[in-house]
Chain A
Amino acid sequence: MLTGNLLWVLMGTMLLGIAAGITGTFSFLQKQSLVGDAAAHAALPGIALAFLLTGQKDLPILMLGAGITSALSVYCIQWIVSFSKMKADAAIGLVLTVFFGVGVVFLTVVNHSPLGNQSGLNNFIFGKAATMTKADLTWLFLSATIIIIVSLLFYKEWKLLIFDPMYAKGIGLPIEALKATLTVLIVMTIVTGIQSVGVILMSALLIIPAVSAKLWTRKLSSMLVVSAVIGGVSGIVGTFISSTRTGLSTGPLIVLVAAAIFFLSYLFSPAGQMYKYFRKKQFRKQGEVG
């Protein structure tokens, strides 16, 4: 069952899950979960454009293109919110759909062009972890490791930035630079993940582990650990299930495993529904006695 390549792919999606769990927690706490969704969709025009300009399917080039348009979309959202009376949710929705629309336009151009044998660019929409090559996996390992290490390095600064930005500014931390670093890291996570889970479902990996972790703990350090574990477990289990049958896409399965973990957390965690229900019952009983 566990052939050599599958083992590497499992390791890759686990690392990806951990990286997404960590950066996702930071973006969730900044109330920017859906910005990640927009940035993930915005990777599509970058991939298609990079292919159109260079005519090559080398992963680093496509990733670079994806990273540039993703970052551009995040910048656009911030710019629109600060320079017009548009609300954040409308800005996110607008940027997301327009970037994705542009992506579809470029993708169609690629499909029609003589280079047309793009076989594979369409895979970026839903992801195909099973077909990743050794070279692709090397990139995945490298960037996931960088993301995890950098997040741990900036842990203290980001904690302050999220919970008390005024104080952080007061003691002289470069707020804007820190925010930008966080954005870059989130974009990097997305770009790393789109090959295995696809642009549409990448945001799930950023959001679901973080939301589930929030139900278990109220401390940032433990939340990061729980979120990373949930992300990692989803990556491994999802990839493993998808490898048992041909034709099962990896992305949806990873997301569904994460969603199952969220559902269990929603019911059984300390902040979950079961606990609340019993607390309420207990209160009522006490009331009757009194």
Chain B
Amino acid sequence: MIELWVIITGLLVGITCGMAGVFLILRKMSMIADAISHTVLFGIVMAFIITQTLNGFWMLLGAAVAGILTAYLVQLLHSSGIQQDAAIGVVFTTLFAAGVLLITLFASHVHLDVEHILMGEIAFVPWDKWTFFAITMPKAVWILLLVLLINIGFLLLFFKEMKLATFDSLYAASIGVPILFLHYGFMTSISFTTVAAFDSVGAILVVAMLIGPAATANLISKSIKQMFLFSMLYGGAAAIIGYYLAKFWDTSIAGMMATAVGLLFIMTLCAQKFMDYKRKALVSKLEGV
């Protein structure tokens, strides 16, 4: 049962992140997700310093606020003429450094472990349980399910608008689609996803799951719906493969899941190149005839 909960948590992270990652890749904002995953630390520490408790709710709130703050600051610097990538680099390293420093200054005596936040400890997930509606499941599974629902809701409500704003933002703006609202709404959902997932699997795996499956799906998909499907499949597959590899070698589960994301990407890219090569060979052969 314990093993099952770990796998379910991993699967949920893979599916939720795979879903959220699609528009992230299409809108060329992958590195903002990376930035948010680092600044989440700052939000958590601030929440602890203000409330002086390790209450999960305040931590999640602080982390979400930090995520939105990151997106806002990057946008602010970018709009005042600083290159986007440099703006991201400045904002997240600064907030991350502030987070690490605040931990050493104010929270060194409590269980706020930077390495835990970075790498997570998915193996401990099954022991922290919540009961709602007479169903007892690990806390992480509840939170991930909630965020999955939020993401599905956001997509159901704004799928058409997001699609338009992503592929032709000028046209979208001209017919009155609220581009800015969508941008910040999407960033909010990304920070919720990051926050929900990092608690169980760590910040690094969250970014791997947000970017990797969607980017891999982008290689082979011909439509955005296909991309959603493949991305969620890749996310889930990476979670399962990663879990068993980690068990086999007795090593970090989150790290191995990130490695599995990379393996799936390489295999897909090679398979795609091979198919291309075969197709080209076939075409030239037919032309010869």
Q: Which residues of A are interface residues toward B (Cβ below 8 A)?
A: 28, 31-34, 37, 80, 83-87, 89-94, 96-98, 100-105, 107-109, 112, 122, 125-126, 200-201, 203-204, 207-208, 210-211, 214, 247-249, 251-253, 255-256, 259, 262, 266, 271, 273, 276
CB-based contact A34/B90 at 8 Å: no
What B residues does A91 contact at CB under 8 A?
215
Q: B169 within 8 Å of A by Cβ?
A: no
The one of A101, A201, A271 that contacts B93, using a Cβ cutoff of 8 Å: A201
The one of A93, A200, A255, A273 that contacts B30, using a Cβ cutoff of 8 Å: A93
The one of A98, A253, A266 that contacts B208, using a Cβ cutoff of 8 Å: A98
Q: Which 4 A-B pairs have the closest CB atoms?
A: A101-B258, A98-B262, A104-B255, A204-B93
CB-based contact B261/A252 at 8 Å: no
What A residues does B225 contact at CB under 8 A?
none
CB-based contact A259/B90 at 8 Å: yes
Within B218-273, which residues are at the interface with A (CB < 8 Å)?
218-219, 246, 249-252, 254-259, 261-262, 265, 269, 272-273
CB-based contact B94/A98 at 8 Å: no
B79 to chain A, nearest CB (A): 11
B116 to chain A, nearest CB (A): 12
CB-based contact A104/B204 at 8 Å: yes
The one of B90, B100, B205 that contacts A126, using a Cβ cutoff of 8 Å: B100
The one of A101, A247, A255 that contacts B104, using a Cβ cutoff of 8 Å: A247
CB-based contact A97/B211 at 8 Å: yes
B142 to chain A, nearest CB (A): 26
Q: A31-B85, A84-B269, A90-B25 are in contact. Are A104 and B31 (CB under 8 A)?
A: no
Q: B114 within 8 Å of A by Cβ?
A: yes
B122 to chain A, nearest CB (A): 12
Q: A87-B28, A104-B258, A249-B100 are in contact. Are A94 and B215 (CB under 8 A)?
A: yes
CB-based contact A252/B252 at 8 Å: no
A38 to chain B, nearest CB (A): 9
What A residues does B101 contact at CB under 8 A?
248-249, 252-253, 256
Q: A109-B249, A247-B108 are in contact. Are A37 and B89 (CB under 8 A)?
A: yes
Per-residue interface assignment for chain B, residues 69 to 96, with 1 indicating a CB less than 8 Å from any chain A CB and 0 otherwise: 0000000010011110111111001101
Give Cα distance in the complex from A262 to B272, angstroms: 44
Give Cα distance in the complex from A31 to B28, angstroms: 15
Q: B212 within 8 Å of A by Cβ?
A: yes
CB-based contact A204/B254 at 8 Å: no
Q: Which residues of B are interface residues toward A (Cβ below 8 A)?
A: 25, 28-31, 33-34, 38, 77, 80-83, 85-90, 93-94, 96-98, 100-101, 104-105, 108, 114-115, 118-119, 204-205, 207-208, 211-212, 214-215, 218-219, 246, 249-252, 254-259, 261-262, 265, 269, 272-273
CB-based contact A85/B219 at 8 Å: yes
Given A33-B86, A105-B249, A251-B100; 6 other pairs, CB 8 A cutoff: A80-B269, A90-B218, A93-B30, A105-B252, A108-B252, A248-B105
Q: Provide 18 A-B residue pairs closer than 8 Å at the C-beta atoms, listed in order of the A residue.
A: A33-B83, A33-B86, A37-B89, A93-B207, A94-B265, A101-B208, A101-B257, A102-B259, A102-B262, A104-B119, A105-B249, A200-B118, A211-B89, A247-B104, A251-B100, A252-B101, A262-B94, A273-B80
- Which of A96, A101, A207, A249 has the largest count of B CB atoms less than 10 A from its CB? A101
The residue on A at minimum CB distance from B208 is: A97
The residue on B at minimum CB distance from A252 is: B97
Give Cα distance in the complex from A126 to B252, angstroms: 19
What A residues does B97 contact at CB under 8 A?
201, 204, 251-253, 255-256, 259
CB-based contact B34/A93 at 8 Å: yes
A199 to chain B, nearest CB (A): 11
The residue on B at minimum CB distance from A210 is: B86
Q: A101-B208, A102-B258 are in contact. Are A256 and B83 (CB under 8 A)?
A: no
What B residues does A251 contact at CB under 8 A?
97, 100
CB-based contact A33/B89 at 8 Å: yes
What B residues does A273 contact at CB under 8 A?
80
Give Cα distance in the complex from A112 to B249, angstroms: 11
What B residues does A214 contact at CB under 8 A?
82
Give Cα distance in the complex from A34 to B119, angstroms: 21
A60 to chain B, nearest CB (A): 26
Give Cα distance in the complex from A62 to B128, angstroms: 38
Q: A31-B83, A108-B251 are in contact. Are A204 and B258 (CB under 8 A)?
A: no
The one of A37, A84, A102, A105 that contacts B219, using a Cβ cutoff of 8 Å: A84
The residue on B at minimum CB distance from A98 is: B262
The one of A80, A90, A200 that contacts B96, using a Cβ cutoff of 8 Å: A200
Give Cα distance in the complex from A105 to B273, angstroms: 29
Give Cα distance in the complex from A62 to B219, angstroms: 36
CB-based contact B204/A101 at 8 Å: yes
A226 to chain B, nearest CB (A): 15
What B residues does A28 contact at CB under 8 A?
83, 86
The one of A33, A102, A125 that contacts B115, using a Cβ cutoff of 8 Å: A125
A16 to chain B, nearest CB (A): 16
What A residues does B105 contact at CB under 8 A?
248
B240 to chain A, nearest CB (A): 16
CB-based contact A33/B85 at 8 Å: yes
CB-based contact A92/B30 at 8 Å: yes
- Which of B28, B83, B98, B205 has the largest count of A CB atoms less than 10 A from its CB? B83
The one of B93, B104, B114, B255 that contacts A208, using a Cβ cutoff of 8 Å: B93
